[in-house]
Structure 1
Amino acid sequence: MHLSSDDVAQIVQEVWTSMLGLDVEPVEVDIDGNVPAVAGSVGVSGATDCLISMEMQEAAAKAVAAAMFGLDGDDISDDDVADAVGELTNMVGGNIKSLLPEPSTLSVPVVAHGRIPTLKVVGGKILMSQAFLSGEHPVLVSVWNRPQRA
């Protein structure tokens, strides 16, 4: 599987613009792992077996939810954050899946709260990872391989 950072950047930019009306740009930045964070992930199974994840600080997730649902910062619930991050992950993951060999299927999104790195694929390795900046908020999109099942 060959998936370029440019392909992923184009997908993330299109999803961010169409769903949120926000700009997002690829950057080289480390995301501080010492703050609350939210991660969304979707699995791809079939000809390619991988996991696509999107991680961001909690403040970024709240900003995404506010933009997606037209809410004021004080009115955003944990469910709003989970719904927004899950939907963005599903849209980005589905578009990445379309670049992978067929046949393949996409799982439903899973959202977790923690500290970056919020999730890790046990036995897997990162095939590509790209940081983005949406306003002042960093977002990390990664594609992990998943170990083959016996």
Structure 2
Amino acid sequence: MIDQISLSDITGFTHEIWSTMAGTELTLSGDEVSINKASGYVVASVQIVGDLQHVVRLDLDASLVMQAASSLLGVPASDLSHEDMRDAAGELANMTGGCVKALLPEPRSLTLPSVVVGTDYEFAVPQGCGVLECSFASDFGNMKLCILERRQ
């Protein structure tokens, strides 16, 4: 029942999460934004399991994750470890997934986040079909938010 989730819902909770928790303003982009894979990028996802299965996936520029981690942890970006960046990306995916989960019918639960960091990789969800996608831009980098439904 992903059709219950509107673009307004997504932009609302995305703005709330990123402005309050990550100290960053994200702006919805009318066009698909590109993620800078050459300088490093991050994919963070959580699954929503229940009668239907969904995946909430965030594709993020590494520079955006660095800014978010710095804000979340209260640590200068130069002092962040790779683990700090993975943890921050996972937490942002978890918060986003929780907001999506709240809009779906019961029963459902949220899995632990999965996070991949690098420059040359492919992240796939077997039997996953994208049902909703939006792009966001900021001064620190771009983000794509995709909700997939797992076909069984």
- Normalised by the length of structure 1, the TM-score is 0.90
- For 2:51, the equivalent position in structure 1 comes to 47
Matched, 1:67 2:71: yes
Within-5 A mapping of 1:1-150: 1=1, 2=3, 3-27=5-29, 28=31, 29-115=33-119, 118-148=122-152
**Distance in 1 between residues matched to 2:122 and 2:9, nearest whole Å:** 24
- Structure 1 residue 111, shift from structure 2 partner: 0.8
Shift of 1:125: 1.1
Distance 1:140 1:10, change over 3 A: same
2:123 and 2:9 map into 1 onto residues whose CA distance is: 23
Gaps of 5+ in 1: none
Aligned CA RMSD, in angstroms, stands at 1.7
Q: CA deviation at 1:24?
A: 1.3
Counterpart secondary structure, 2:144: strand
Q: Report the AA paired with residue 141 of structure 2.
A: H
- Say which SS state the counterpart of residue 23 (structure 1) adopts: coil
Q: TM-score, normalised by structure 2?
A: 0.89
Classify 1:117/1:6 alpha carbon distance in 2 versus 1 (closer, same or farther; 3 Å).
farther
Going from structure 1 to structure 2, the CA distance change for 1:121 and 1:33 (only over 3 Å counts) comes to same
Once the two structures are superposed, residues 93-147 of structure 1 have per-residue CA deviations (whole angstroms, 9 ceiling, x without a partner) of 1011101111110001111123487522122211111111132410111101112
Matched residue count: 148
Q: Which runs of 5+ in 2 are unaligned?
A: none
Report percent identity of matched pairs.
Answer: 29
What per-residue deviation string (whole Å, max 9, x for no partner) do you get for residues 41-64 of structure 1?
Answer: 100111321100111121111111
SS at match of 2:145: strand
